A and B are shown apart, each in its own frame.
Chain A
Amino acid sequence: MTDTRPFTEIKVLSFGTALAGNDCALTLAALGADVVKIESRGHPDYTRALRWPDHPRTYEPSGVEICGFHAAVTHSKKNLSLNMGHPAARELFKRLVAKSDVVINNFSPSVMPKWGLDFDVLSGINPRLVMISMPGLGKTGPKSHWVSFNHIIEAYVGLAKLGGFSHIAHCDYVAAIHGAVAVLVGLRQRERTGRGLFVDLAQTESVASLMGELFLDVALNGRDPEPPGNWVEGSAFSGVFRCNTADSWVAIECEDEDDWRRLSDLALPAASADERFETPSSRRQSLTELTRLLESWTTLRTAHQAMLLLQKAGIAAGVVQNGEDLFRDPQLRSRDFMVEVHHQDLGTSEIPGSPLRLSRTPARVRYASHRLGQDNAEILARIGLRPDRVEELEREGVL
């Protein structure tokens, strides 16, 4: 089944690594763009080694490590091995740029210039190129040279102090989707102007943009937001409550007084008359006591039962889902959200599909992750290299 449309003609060269870079390119790949992931055999993407503790070490036939973490963020992408330390490899890259539309990287700002591949050079080769860099703190500024990863970004932007460090890669995913949007905006702009452009995405700024109202609290009210815990400001009542088995929880939020009344009727018989619980702020003051009272209801039920009963009463509630819950989630399953992939080295597993369900051109898992250098011949044929020349370059260590 051929899927030919303007989007599938878009050619992306991605040095994207870690989560932010890989996931940015992944969104474009899932939407149908032709994405080539470029890795160096000498310094393969370090996500290849991020196996979970309960998984055995697995290797591709060439000896490079592979794991589910890496495969999950590199599906639907072709793989080109280029040893970027080698001048001949950098020349090949430039020739590919001439025939591509997008270059993605999330290296620290010194890397591409060090290789002689900054935007000035690449747009000289291809004036229609859209290029994005996604360093932790930005390409410019006194701290642009800082060594950074998720932890550092969360600390610097203020998220860690406000809410604790996340054990999830929140900032990476935020930067990744912002990056994808920026590339797409760049491509649309190119339709108007005929020219490419450069995007400098600072991961700190990308996540700060999700806290606009909190920064306005600083700017306009002179307030420095305090850690909110699980209380949602503006709610009539909110929190996370124990259910009937160890480490099982239900999240509940009453958005207004009507919700609060229905919650009281359902699960807090003593509360409605109690003046300690009359207003949202008094409920927040008495949260410990209210939690105790509410948990005497929730701990009689599983988290799912609690959620369904609350939903029937018209209250926003959700199970705090763990991996097993998500795997068994009837909502996700009913929408065929999980996709079975057969990976050459990792075997068969289920991975999430894409949430971008467009009715005619849905984003989807197109094929399982490719091996390092798997597509060298196909990609280099675009710049006129014959297969025997490709093999020669592989033997020479250029690829």
Chain B
Amino acid sequence: MEPVGGHADRKRPPLTTGRSGAGRSLHFLYYHLNKRSVTLDLAEPEARPIFERLVASADVVVSSYAPAIGDPLGLDEVTLARVNPRAVFCSITPYGRTGPYRNHRATDLTIEAMGGQMFTQGEAHSPPRRTPGQQMFDVAGIHAAAAILAALIDRPVVGGQALDLSIQEVYAAQNQVIQRYSTAAAQGKRQRSSSVAPPSGLWRCKDGEASVAVLTEAQWRAAFDLLGSPARFAGAEWQQLLHRSLHGAELSQAVAEFAGPRTKDEVADMAQAKHLPAAPMNSLADFYGSDQPRSRSYFAAVEDPILGGVEVAGAPYQFSEPIWGLRTPAPTPGQHNKDVYLYELGFTEADLAQWERARVI
């Protein structure tokens, strides 16, 4: 459901550039695949009967309005349950529908901060660093989907329900931040791990870097082997993390000689062949072209009316049955007003015309 004229997210960056249809939100294009669009101005009194008929026809209603904004529009669980007691009403908000912060403004950045995830990210003497993209909000949405599915499984016996999902709580539940403080009054810091010794770390290659983990004794032997079994590192003392830390420069030299002439993919492949945890430090473009996701057909094709064939990040999980699929591109605003309001909900052409004139839809 969108406001009349389309949601502001249609302009949310990153945007398409150049090729026909510049200025369209990539965010919108991706997150609204497979969805239909109806427009409705919920603030208009005339919208009420439309809204109620929509809700009455639904299994699930999802809202991300803060209580102060959504409740006056009738998007609260009491009102919705009256209209459709069998629907699962899902409210996703930054802090939940109750509590002193319930009407705080939030973005993905500020929620990452408040959820306790940001404090330990980044370098010790730099500001805490955020996770790229909009991943906090996305992950909360996936949590909501899990709860909704569970509620639908129970619906025959339990009936409809309301889900009050706080994005902050999704994150506050992670990484034992609360437990650690509760049991030892201790907390994490931004710092380099002290249990990591050379040659573990980033290896500079011809075309970038590879991350190689050398943490256990078995992994040291594998790394030794990988580097060509140089006699100077053959002594038993090199198995000790402390010894390797003190002689980091010599190890770095050996790593540079090995990795410098090779590509990051080669280095990672050779390391993995010896069961060393390793990976090229890929950019997103590197992953996009990489053999592993491509061999699994991870990137999926969808046909967009303006852009033509588009390849997008695909299924986060692959089923052995044809369940997941990209059927339609992101819709235009109100593209399905007629389908939904006229053909499915039984309003009339006259109704629609009148509502369009009044900008209710």
Contacts and interface: CB of A to CB of B under 8 A. Distances in A.
Interface stretch (A35-43, A158-166, A271-279, A381-389): A158-166
The secondary-structure label for the interface of chain A is mixed
Contacts of B159: 360
B128 interface: yes
Nearest to B16: A220
Interface in B95-138: 95-96, 98-102, 104-122, 127-135, 138
Interface residues of A, number: 144
Contacts, number: 465
A219 B312 contact: yes
Contacts of A180: 146
A325 interface: yes
Contact of A350 (B108, B168, B179): B179
Interface stretch (A91-99, A221-229, A391-399): A221-229
B283 interface: yes
Interface string A58-77: 00000000001100100000
Contact of B310 (A219, A241, A325): A219
B279 interface: yes
A151 B210 CA distance: 11
A233 B14 contact: yes
Contacts of A161: 281-283
Interface in A341-373: 346, 349-361, 363
Given A169-B174, A253-B109, A355 B166 contact: yes
A185 B121 CA distance: 33
B163 interface: yes
B277 A152 contact: yes
Given A167-B120, A318-B114, A361-B161, A184 B146 contact: yes
Nearest to B124: A247
B149 A141 contact: no
B142 interface: yes
B112 A332 contact: no
A178 B143 CA distance: 8
B129 A218 contact: no
Contacts of B279: 146, 148, 151-153, 155-156
Given A7-B154, A69-B179, A360-B158, 16 more contacts: A68-B183, A147-B275, A152-B211, A164-B122, A166-B121, A170-B117, A177-B139, A188-B153, A204-B287, A205-B293, A208-B313, A214-B14, A232-B107, A232-B130, A233-B14, A239-B127
12 contacts: A158-B287, A161-B282, A174-B142, A179-B317, A205-B314, A208-B293, A213-B26, A318-B106, A323-B181, A324-B181, A324-B185, A355-B166
Closest 5 CB pairs of A and B: A323-B187, A318-B110, A234-B13, A212-B30, A251-B113
